[in-house]
Structure 1
């Protein structure tokens, strides 16, 4: 290259372009998604393995060849090889890069794709609309965050085989650079059909296992949408051996679990049970009064209409609370550790408080014994020495007087200026003898100790923590221990499922395989369970000398809201127990809409085991036959909690009441939807076209369109599952 400048010849130095021979590794941050995920099992053999990169230009960034029309070969590709004899993946310790070796008895030419078609298996996906007059290339350059580049491996997979998935170079010069070999000068491919033994550097790799032909659409079609079995969620409750005085022929209503069938009601406890329990509950009789400390009560009368009576005088709710206490005992070490993490330096502060209170009481005792009872004349004689004592103010010290002498060394260095009154300098003064009341106040050990202690506490416990201390002490002392109200965001439903799953959903074993049911939550169970959890946790923490605020409710979470959107993870299930209205029932403990039964979708079968990222959500019905506009966020509801019952039951709770979900007088209702993740694009050989996907294709985009697997979705109206009048066309797919 050359040119002229001011009529003089100008020589441009040669420019060297980076190519595949300059690359020996790949930044892991570039890999934003793999399909299947690393370690996956049961991967669909009808799909291709893929890897997505953050940079839309990465697959062609170091390509040394120009495009052939709309075909541009990438400098790297994705390969998938079975883990069998002759295939090894190891790390080159000298170069710090993984190496894949394929040798006998495995034939490399038989397991590796044809690099002549590498152009077809690398493309860019752009999410969004183009601006007016904008080309796709311009949109990708302007909005790179809306696009990803992707490599697809066209290898057809066999069932029940474990595979290595590897990103490797497509040019021999890139292969040699990665292996630390001398670089050639040709642009030959990294392998050909004539190569039966190959060693390749690996830029990125993972492993996965295929399933026995399990496909999402097949597993969805195997599901049966059913109404719940009769009595699901209920357990018979026998009190004949409880020691309660039971009238002849009297029975208890069933205990209803945390999940139950649509329309299940929690019947109130019989009056005879309340009357039998009332004199037995309280600190003096031995049976714990759940929530008594938060309610400020030590006993509960048999006719108490509020939550305290409902919780403590119903044997079923007491059993549920005791179950919560058992869960705490099983996890007491972890829960106590979580509470202590929030206590900070409160223990040290309370030791100081205890010492100060002891000192104040001792000083008060001495004051009462020796001074308070003295006559005025005797007291005047007692304080006479104090009248002669001078207060040692710093401003009257010898050192201060030397510094402030008018002709002293310090004054000589000060520039002359207008004289001012030295208000800050005052002489030492003796206490006057007539102000006996003020003098007595100075002698008060309560005031003196409290002031000193307050200054010291400020260095130990932050004001924000001290502000949480309860002001419940009534001993009249100005110095009280600092109390802590910890917040432990541990969800209790998974713990219940681990310890006693038969109470989370009684009758779960009766649910048939490959079933989908709609259930509802039981707020009474949740409130009683958490009351028992907090009562037992308070006892355990106090036994460990934890400075607990007795009115606190450390655990307010029952359902597991982790991983759910819309701020669900930060929303407790119940209010703090101290704020519960004594006139309300147990359902009044809940926040907002959760005080009523919420709809829960339960799935039993292999769908979520093989496809754990299945999207489960609800869509508002426009009418019994049609969906509302899903582009309106108000028409789509996502789970606010989820859970599992091993080995094959998963459930999802929604912020919608069962009445609203079923529809009818309240509106057209809602549909349940099960879908492959719409944001996770998948590819596979076209099932209805036996031709190779590359045959007749002009570009990688055309190949991607042929092999794209649209997400499968099935929808069903909630009324079909809630044992209400079904709507037309309730099941759709």
Structure 2
């Protein structure tokens, strides 16, 4: 949202003050107010009212302070910026000023912000006075109060009339601000304080009698010492000279030496079994992009292969590939790649204790799972012996009787449980209960199942098999009535028929007659009951044998309790798991610590305050990660870790965790699982996670990112200009690419990688390419002047520097009689000027520091491609 400024603002009775600010202003304003009686409008009177002046103030409600610039305790404030304090109430700086703006719109505030060197001031917090007391030398530390009007203003944010925003608009869109016009020194401690601007305010704050008469300044530029009450204060320190704009302007474009980026020289002297290989280059992780090792002599490759066969050299990745000798010729036969892989082994050797501690911390769940798997193996073998001895020889019917308690968990051929099959058959389910087996034992129960299964169920529901149940004497059942030949079927009974029967002889029969009569009243026509099918005893017995087999039951129950690694499918499903610890740490830092010249060859030759573009080298990262994983597998095996050395424990080289948009999971990896690599693919392409081409990397050396770590850096798509000979331009709304990884090399080198190829960033005759943009971190409004005049002034107020203004003996900016620079109305139509006749609103607009950006086209930082 746009910001606007007003020189001052008054509310309430303060708007009625009509004496213009000047040299003879009384310390309190007198107003004549006209009053009328509501009951008699014809009667009126004039009342004299006196407004409170600065002599009535002894303190300030600090909750009105919403921001200070810099914040309290800051240690690296830019010395070319101005200190500021903001108030919630837009009228607060002029609330107790007993005057109105003069003809130029200037109005002195009743309090000012001063900044004094900590070594040149004393701040006494004594409680015997209404406020803490600041003692200092005005001639060396304080501004000239004659121009205090220039450093107080109102800020409005958003569209709309100023009066509407200040009276009825949201409070968040309005505030007032005091600036201190002092130019600060680098690396100096300061005290910032709000103090009264008038002598009457100073007397009140010090607990002294307040003089009447005209307003007088609280100090004069010629005073040698002054005591001032402090309404609020904080301390801070400045950093080295230079703000973001100045540091960004120091950056120089630098194209790294192509010979240095080619890599470090590696000498291969002749030795027993190895001929002289001369000198080869070992490319680094960053370089021209997509390099590979120097071509190896055929005799040297043959000698290395022979040494690999004799186990005289490590065959990096042999366990991952399942091959005992060379499997990726570009890795194990090239001396340059072997040197990079050896660096990975060195990382494991030097950090073995920390790595093993992290690996053992991850293996806890695996150990618990393996304990369960081993117990399951014991249960499977012991149960299998019992199963083969006692269950397999049983006849089918006897086996079904034994399996009765598990019938609801054992399935037949059609996936229905055995219990469901029994319920749908002519065999009573009661024969499969524990009680039935206890009563008849297995052989007898099996015989009953066979008999029940042989019955024809067409006559209705089968009768229970076995001895008839005992009944108390006189009890009549429905079966007794159904068996009488003189009675029709029960489903055909009617209430009329039952009425013709003689009275029942027993109460039980009476109750039964009544129940049957009621039932018959609602019964439908009689339908024959379909016969129930026989039970497939042989088929279900086979299913039961299979389901009770410990090799099936124990295995299924155990695996249901575990979540095993993806792809884990051993011949024995209860085989203990071989763990593969995962180390998600980006490993480029280890290279930066052990061999920074291999991370970026020629890094020490980068000039200070320079910016360069290079490319990533997948060849290096893949060779390094294979060596790292190879040695980690050997260390795990040596320490007794449950592993088969085929795990890919390290997959990440670059740190993509802060990428925009965020990346997760496999998108953070640089390689896929090494066993999945295609044998025969060149190193750098085999196992690449995502695109295998070199990515664009910005390298910065200097103070900019150290002083401004929140600098916004991104790549922006260029567009052709509309000139007769079009050139790349950076237009508003251009496509942006933010860094996908970043890192640093001590002490002052930083790099950021983008999802762009080196060729795409450079562009072609038909492709405008990409810009790299440095943008100042977004902040609240800040005010100040440039450190030095720019080499090529643009003719705008944004180029105004401290060298172009007048600074008095106390180090404060003093407005003169003429503009320090000339600004063309075509460039700035606002008509701003920086003289004694300006307003504080114009001063605020001039010294406001806009967000600064620098855009550099990639082709200016990249060497021309090799034909």
| Same fold at TM > 0.5 | yes
CA shift for structure 1 position 522:
1.5
Structure 2 unpaired stretches of 5+: 1-34, 40-51, 409-428, 447-536, 786-799, 807-812, 816-833
Q: Check whether the contact 2:290–2:693 (CA below 8 A) recurs between aligned residues.
A: no
Q: Check whether the contact 2:290–2:617 (CA below 8 A) recurs between aligned residues.
A: no
1:574-723 equivalences under 5 Å are 574-578=670-674, 580-582=677-679, 584-588=681-685, 589-593=687-691, 595-610=692-707, 612-619=709-716, 620-622=718-720, 626-634=727-735, 636-665=736-765, 667-674=767-774, 676-677=776-777, 681-685=781-785, 686-687=800-801, 688-690=804-806, 692-693=814-815, 695-696=835-836, 699-710=839-850, 714-723=854-863
The residue number in structure 1 matching 2:253 is: 225
The residue number in structure 1 matching 2:264 is: 235
CA 1:49/1:238 → structure 2, altered by over 3 Å: closer, same or farther?
farther
CA–CA distance in structure 2, aligned partners of residues 73 and 555 of structure 1: 67
CA–CA distance in structure 2, aligned partners of residues 216 and 2 of structure 1: 62
CA 1:374/1:221 → structure 2, altered by over 3 Å: closer, same or farther?
closer
CA–CA distance in structure 2, aligned partners of residues 658 and 521 of structure 1: 9
The residue number in structure 1 matching 2:47 is: none
CA shift for structure 1 position 389:
10
CA–CA distance in structure 2, aligned partners of residues 23 and 540 of structure 1: 68
The residue number in structure 1 matching 2:462 is: none
Question: Does residue 65 of structure 2 align to residue 49 of structure 1?
Answer: no
1:178-223 deviations in Å (ceiling 9; x for gaps): 99x999999x9996557723463646x4522343x44666655655
CA 1:331/1:64 → structure 2, altered by over 3 Å: closer, same or farther?
farther
CA shift for structure 1 position 559:
2.8
Pick aligned residue for 1:358 from 374, 381, 384: 374
Which one is further off, 542-551 or 160-169?
542-551
The residue number in structure 1 matching 2:22 is: none
The residue number in structure 1 matching 2:141 is: 111
The residue number in structure 1 matching 2:529 is: none
1:242-275 deviations in Å (ceiling 9; x for gaps): x684345x33530001122478564444444443
CA 1:662/1:541 → structure 2, altered by over 3 Å: closer, same or farther?
same
CA 1:350/1:84 → structure 2, altered by over 3 Å: closer, same or farther?
same
1:682-708 deviations in Å (ceiling 9; x for gaps): 432543343735854665431112223
Q: Check whether the contact 1:252–1:269 (CA below 8 A) recurs between aligned residues.
A: no
CA 1:298/1:580 → structure 2, altered by over 3 Å: closer, same or farther?
closer
The residue number in structure 2 matching 1:414 is: none
The count of residues paired between Structure 1 and Structure 2 equals: 640
1:554-565 equivalences under 5 Å are 554-561=649-656, 565=660
Question: Does residue 549 of structure 2 align to residue 475 of structure 1?
Answer: no
The residue number in structure 1 matching 2:236 is: 207
Q: Check whether the contact 1:100–1:199 (CA below 8 A) recurs between aligned residues.
A: yes
CA 1:114/1:552 → structure 2, altered by over 3 Å: closer, same or farther?
farther
1:117-161 deviations in Å (ceiling 9; x for gaps): 666445566777x4xx66596499878888887653322212442
CA shift for structure 1 position 236:
0.6
CA–CA distance in structure 2, aligned partners of residues 509 and 587 of structure 1: 26
Counterpart secondary structure, 2:814 = coil
Pick aligned residue for 1:82 from 104, 117, 124: 117
CA–CA distance in structure 1, aligned partners of residues 780 and 697 of structure 2: 26
Q: Check whether the contact 1:140–1:146 (CA below 8 A) recurs between aligned residues.
A: no
The residue number in structure 1 matching 2:668 is: 572
CA–CA distance in structure 2, aligned partners of residues 149 and 562 of structure 1: 41
CA–CA distance in structure 2, aligned partners of residues 72 and 164 of structure 1: 26
Pick aligned residue for 1:253 from 272, 280, 287: 280
Q: Check whether the contact 1:231–1:261 (CA below 8 A) recurs between aligned residues.
A: no
CA shift for structure 1 position 360:
3.4
CA–CA distance in structure 2, aligned partners of residues 596 and 140 of structure 1: 61
CA–CA distance in structure 2, aligned partners of residues 637 and 557 of structure 1: 21
CA 1:655/1:73 → structure 2, altered by over 3 Å: closer, same or farther?
farther
Question: Does residue 564 of structure 2 align to residue 529 of structure 1?
Answer: no
RMSD: 5.5
CA shift for structure 1 position 718:
3.0
CA–CA distance in structure 2, aligned partners of residues 140 and 492 of structure 1: 59
Rg larger for: 2
CA shift for structure 1 position 709:
3.9
Counterpart secondary structure, 1:322 = helix
1:533-592 deviations in Å (ceiling 9; x for gaps): 444455556767777797664544323446553336885251422554445433334444
CA–CA distance in structure 2, aligned partners of residues 81 and 717 of structure 1: 44
CA 1:3/1:318 → structure 2, altered by over 3 Å: closer, same or farther?
farther
1:161-180 equivalences under 5 Å are 161-165=188-192
Q: Check whether the contact 2:400–2:541 (CA below 8 A) recurs between aligned residues.
A: no
Pick aligned residue for 2:597 from 502, 521, 535: 502
The residue number in structure 1 matching 2:332 is: 312
CA 1:499/1:23 → structure 2, altered by over 3 Å: closer, same or farther?
farther
CA 1:64/1:310 → structure 2, altered by over 3 Å: closer, same or farther?
same
CA–CA distance in structure 1, aligned partners of residues 567 and 72 of structure 2: 54
Counterpart secondary structure, 2:336 = helix
Q: Check whether the contact 1:392–1:428 (CA below 8 A) recurs between aligned residues.
A: no
CA shift for structure 1 position 87:
4.0
Counterpart secondary structure, 1:650 = strand
Counterpart secondary structure, 2:184 = coil
CA–CA distance in structure 2, aligned partners of residues 637 and 710 of structure 1: 23
CA 1:2/1:364 → structure 2, altered by over 3 Å: closer, same or farther?
farther
CA shift for structure 1 position 648:
3.2
CA–CA distance in structure 2, aligned partners of residues 183 and 392 of structure 1: 102
TM-score under structure 2 length normalisation? 0.59
Counterpart secondary structure, 1:253 = strand
Question: Does residue 249 of structure 2 align to residue 154 of structure 1?
Answer: no
Q: Check whether the contact 2:133–2:228 (CA below 8 A) recurs between aligned residues.
A: yes
CA shift for structure 1 position 84:
1.5
CA–CA distance in structure 2, aligned partners of residues 123 and 336 of structure 1: 63
1:380-439 deviations in Å (ceiling 9; x for gaps): 79x999968995999xxxxxxxxxxxxxxxxxxxxxxxxxxx99x988453765876556
CA–CA distance in structure 1, aligned partners of residues 167 and 682 of structure 2: 58
Question: Does residue 396 of structure 2 align to residue 372 of structure 1?
Answer: no
1:417-566 equivalences under 5 Å are 428-430=435-437, 433=446, 437=542, 440-441=545-546, 444-450=549-555, 453=558, 457=561, 466=563, 469-478=565-574, 481=577, 486=582, 488=584, 490-537=585-632, 553-561=648-656, 565-566=660-661
TM-score under structure 1 length normalisation? 0.68
Structure 1 unpaired stretches of 5+: 6-16, 395-421, 459-465, 727-733
